[in-house]
Amino acid sequence: MVQTSRLVLASSSPRRRQLLAEAGYEFSVVSPPIEEPAQWRETVSPAGLAEALAYFKARCVAEIEPAASILGADTVVAAGGRLMGKPDGRRQAERMLGELSGTRHAVITGVALLGPDGWRRIDSDVTYVTMRPMRPAEIEDYLASGEWIGKAGAYAIQETADRFVERIEGSFTNIVGLPIELVGRMVEQIGGPRPDGTPGIAC
């Protein structure tokens, strides 16, 4: 029987906090104290990378909050065989947007849920996004907005970048950064409370 405990979100992302709160979960927030290791980006699949980074974030916070259940997440974009995380500056963001323009690409979010008794659940979700071709002037205007900062693939669909998107196949919240449907299934699997307060199924 898994012992349930309070939930801690291991993230500095205001978008993930908002999604989890809007879904009805009670939680606290602790930002991971260590930068994610960039060298992993060339060695694993998109899903494997997202899951590994989610676990890395959750593991760091679990050392600070050993009595809590820790939820970590990380989002990457895969297009044309290339992995894209968060751009490190405007020039890289411009390159990313140019490569995503007119493509159907994958947005993958890894989710890790760690418990105080040593149990863990790690999974990922993928959503496919079809983006219309963007004119250079449109890319420049978007870069000037600053919305790309801290966003995987250099765009935020929940803000004004939705005007570039023609089609979504899968979870919208996954694109924003936290697949709430997957989180709900994982929390229920380990016996945690649903957003309505009723207990999940301990395993």
CATH code for position 100: 3.90.950.10
Task: Confirm whether 45 is domain-assigned.
Answer: yes
pLDDT at 4: 53
Q: What is the pTM of this model?
A: 0.86
Catalytic pick among 74, 117, 162, 196:
74
Task: Confirm whether 115 is domain-assigned.
Answer: yes
Tens of pLDDT, residue by residue over 45-74, are 899 999 999 999 999 999 999 999 999 999
**SS3 of residue 75 by DSSP:** strand
Q: What DSSP designation does 88 have?
A: S
Task: Confirm whether 202 is domain-assigned.
Answer: no
Is residue 2 scored above 80 in pLDDT? no
pLDDT, averaged across the chain:
88
Least confident of 4-18, 37-51, 110-124, 166-180: 37-51
Tens of pLDDT, residue by residue over 100-118, are 999 999 999 999 999 988 8
Tens of pLDDT, residue by residue over 165-176, are 999 999 999 999
Domain that holds residue 148: 7-189
Task: Confirm whether 195 is domain-assigned.
Answer: no
Q: What residues contact residue 125 under an 8 Å CB cut-off, 6+ apart?
A: 108, 109, 111, 170, 171, 174, 179, 181, 182
162 labelled catalytic: no
* Cα end-to-end distance, the chain, whole Å: 6
- 47-to-41, 51, 93, 124, 125 alpha-carbon distances in Å: 11, 6, 22, 6, 8
Closest CA to 83 of 33, 118, 125, 40: 40
Q: What residues contact residue 203 under an 8 Å CB cut-off, 6+ apart?
A: 2, 189, 190, 191
pLDDT at 159: 86
**Matching residue, tokens 């323009």:** 101
- 195-to-8, 161, 198, 200, 203 alpha-carbon distances in Å: 14, 30, 8, 10, 19
Task: Confirm whether 95 is domain-assigned.
Answer: yes
Task: Confirm whether 157 is domain-assigned.
Answer: yes
Is residue 200 scored above 60 in pLDDT? no
Tell me how crowded residue 81 is: count the other CB atoms within 10 A of its CB: 6
Task: Confirm whether 196 is domain-assigned.
Answer: no
Q: Considering just the CA atoms, what is the radius of gyration of the chain in Å?
A: 17
Domains held by the chain: number: 1
